[in-house]
């Protein structure tokens, strides 16, 4: 299945097919002919797929190396970027090289930033291996690293030449990571496509079992939806904000909860809270928050959390990048499948503290700590 995506002035193919990883070298050579390929992946992905991809590349007579870094968000840093670029310089990578990001969103962002900056920019191929990276991180052109001051604060827009997603690799992914990715797909349905949301409701069990036809359809539709938004707003100055549905609350929970919530889990809970806020403001059709929680529960995703107080979450939201005059801003649904614009035409809505507090109380369990 091919989906065409475009960021800024360039369009690229997203190939989603079971078994396509075996064809990665041929696809790399066609989309980005290069003297040499730096295949960047973390240690876990290297153990599962590194040798296989490297051998296939060499069998296809490509010159390629595997550059491995330690897995985890903690390594999505300038230090790892420096180490990877130093290794490429030592090995004599020139401007006629290409970077291949093989892995989850961490590898995609990090290798993407290497590609954006090495010798002022090399072509990039994204080969995402987590559900989240397939439907979200690999498409849209954002690359970057974290700093002590916050996540993704140093980076660049650098769209790939090609995205290659093989649903079969998800079989080695821990189940929690699969479900975290599903939360972002549910978000795509909630903000943009009611039919897709209905289909995920009907297909949740096949999706949890990773049935290839269902996963392929999920990845392809999510990529189409995200790509359409990115094409309208490549530099995130307008409607791309709809992709942040659930994320204002999610970021606050991720920052403060001692429960170590994975991002996708926090997004699920955040979507419920933001739908409750929308209903309280009479912007969102009533019953929407319940429908969202029903689907998240069916996908074995949490709809509430402990380990954080409502006050701590509110304080974090006031400091959020999107906050204006210290008031939190949420992306609000009109109903399942459509977002609502604010009176000023903006895609985010200012939410009064009392409303945000009531919404957070619905998703934060530890009421006596409030
Ligand atoms: N650029 C963007 O637009 C964008 C969008 C969303 C998220 N992100 C970024 O993505 C990152 C999160 O991505 P993620 O959730 O994919 O995390 P990740 O890359 O850390 O992968 C999660 C874990 O799964 C392992 N893994 C990956 N693929 C595997 C496979 N097929 N089999 C077994 N194990 C595998 C990894 O080694 C890691 O331990 C964050 O840094 C976030 O900021 C970026
Ligand atoms: Zn997200």
pLDDT (mean) for 112-118: 98
Measured in angstroms, how far is the CA atom of residue 116 from the centroid of ligand 1?
19
Least confident of 6-15, 55-64, 345-354: 6-15
Confidence of residue 8 (pLDDT cuts 50, 70, 90): low
Nearest residue (CA) to ligand 1, atom 42: 105
Measured in angstroms, how far is the CA atom of residue 129 from the centroid of ligand 1?
8
Measured in angstroms, how far is the CA atom of residue 184 from the centroid of ligand 2?
6
> CA 123 to CA 49: how far, in whole Å?
22
DSSP alpha helices (H): ranges in the chain? 24-31, 43-45, 51-59, 78-90, 105-117, 131-132, 175-192, 194-208, 212-232, 247-256, 263-280, 288-298, 310-318, 353-363
**CB count in 10 Å sphere of residue 88:** 22
Ligand nearest to the CA of 142: 1
Partner residues linked to 97 by β-bridges: 36
Confidence of residue 368 (pLDDT cuts 50, 70, 90): low
* 251 among known catalytic residues: yes
Whole-angstrom CA distances from 163 to 4, 45, 50, 139, 315 are 10, 17, 17, 8, 38
* 188 among known catalytic residues: no
Between CA 161 and CA 81, with CA 56 as vertex, the angle to 5 degrees is: 50
215, 222 contact by CB (below 8 A): no
Residue 73 near ligand 1, beta carbon < 6 Å: yes
214, 203 contact by CB (below 8 A): yes
Residue 159 near ligand 1, beta carbon < 6 Å: no
Nearest residue (CA) to ligand 1, atom 37: 44
Residue 140 near ligand 1, beta carbon < 6 Å: yes
Residues sharing a CB contact under 8 Å with residue 296, sequence separation 6 or more, in sequence order: 183, 186, 268, 271, 272, 302, 303
Confidence of residue 139 (pLDDT cuts 50, 70, 90): very high
Measured in angstroms, how far is the CA atom of residue 264 from the centroid of ligand 2?
6
Looking at residue 370, its pLDDT comes to 44
Residue pointed to by tokens 């009531």: 358
Collapsing DSSP to helix, strand or coil, 127 comes out as strand
Annotated active-site residue in 240, 329, 335, 349:
240
* 247 among known catalytic residues: yes
pTM over 0.85: yes
Looking at residue 237, its pLDDT comes to 83
Q: Long-range contacts: 84-88, Cβ < 8 Å, 24+?
A: 84/38, 84/40, 84/110, 84/111, 84/114, 85/114, 85/117, 85/118, 88/38, 88/114, 88/118
> CA 113 to CA 34: how far, in whole Å?
18
* 236 among known catalytic residues: yes
**Over the stretch 242-296, which tens digit does the pLDDT of each residue have?**
999 999 999 999 988 777 889 999 999 999 999 999 999 999 999 999 999 999 9
Looking at residue 367, its pLDDT comes to 52
Ligand nearest to the CA of 250: 2
Pair of tokens at residue 82 = 């420096």
Residue 247 near ligand 1, beta carbon < 6 Å: no
User: In the chain, what percentage of residues exceed pLDDT 90?
Assistant: 85
Q: How many residues does the chain have?
A: 370
Between CA 240 and CA 246, with CA 245 as vertex, the angle to 5 degrees is: 150
Looking at residue 52, its pLDDT comes to 96
* 209 among known catalytic residues: no
- DSSP characters for 263-290? HHHHHHHHHHHHHHHHHHTT-SPTTHHH
* pLDDT, averaged across the chain: 94
Residue 112 near ligand 1, beta carbon < 6 Å: no
Pair of tokens at residue 93 = 């990578």
Q: Reply yes or no on whether the pLDDT at 128 is more than 70.
A: yes
Residue 9: exposed, middle, or buried by beta-carbon count in 10 A (0-12, 13-18, 19+)?
exposed
> CA 281 to CA 42: how far, in whole Å?
44
Whole-angstrom CA distances from 243 to 91, 240, 335, 348 are 39, 6, 15, 11
**CB count in 10 Å sphere of residue 311:** 14
Residue 135 near ligand 1, beta carbon < 6 Å: no
Listed residue (135, 244, 241) closest to 182, CA to CA: 135
Least confident of 57-71, 183-197, 323-337: 323-337
Ligand nearest to the CA of 226: 1
Residue 109 near ligand 1, beta carbon < 6 Å: yes
Looking at residue 252, its pLDDT comes to 92
* 142 among known catalytic residues: yes
């Amino acid at each position: 299945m091919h989906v065409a995506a475009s960021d800024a002035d360039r369009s690229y193919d997203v190939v989603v097919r079971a078994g396509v990883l075996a064809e990665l070298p041929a696809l790399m050579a066609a989309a980005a002919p290069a003297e040499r390929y730096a295949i960047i992946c973390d240690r876990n992905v290297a153990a599962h797929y590194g040798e296989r991809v490297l051998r296939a590349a060499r069998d296809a007579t490509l010159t390629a190396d595997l550059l491995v870094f330690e897995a985890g968000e903690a390594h999505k840093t300038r230090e790892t970027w420096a180490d990877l670029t130093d290794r490429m310089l030592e090995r004599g990578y020139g401007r006629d090289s290409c970077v291949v990001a093989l892995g989850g969103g961490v590898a995609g962002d990090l290798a993407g930033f290497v590609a954006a900056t090495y010798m002022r920019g090399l072509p990039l191929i994204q080969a995402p291996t987590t559900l989240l990276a397939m439907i979200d991180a690999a498409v849209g052109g954002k690359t970057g690293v974290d700093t002590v001051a916050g996540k993704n604060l140093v980076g660049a827009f650098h769209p790939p030449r090609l995205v290659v997603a093989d649903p079969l690799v998800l079989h080695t992914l821990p189940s929690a990571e699969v479900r975290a990715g599903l939360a972002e797909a549910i978000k795509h349905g909630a903000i943009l496509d009611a039919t897709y949301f209905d289909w995920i409701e009907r297909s949740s069990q096949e999706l949890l079992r990773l049935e290839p036809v269902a996963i392929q359809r999920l990845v392809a539709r999510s990529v189409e939806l995200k790509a359409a938004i990115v094409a309208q707003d490549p530099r995130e100055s307008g409607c791309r904000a709809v992709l942040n549905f659930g994320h204002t609350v999610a970021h606050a929970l991720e920052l403060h909860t001692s429960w170590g919530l994975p991002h996708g889990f926090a997004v699920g809970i955040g979507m419920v809270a933001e739908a409750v806020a929308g209903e309280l403001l009479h912007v969102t059709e009533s019953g929407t928050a319940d429908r969202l929680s029903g689907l998240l529960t069916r996908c074995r995703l949490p709809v509430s959390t402990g380990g954080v107080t409502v006050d701590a979450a509110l304080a974090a939201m006031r400091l959020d990048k999107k906050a204006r005059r210290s008031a939190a801003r949420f992306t609000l649904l009109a109903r399942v499948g459509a977002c609502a614009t604010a009176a000023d035409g903006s895609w985010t809505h200012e939410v009064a503290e009392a409303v945000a507090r009531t919404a957070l109380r619905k998703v934060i369990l530890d009421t006596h700590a409030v």
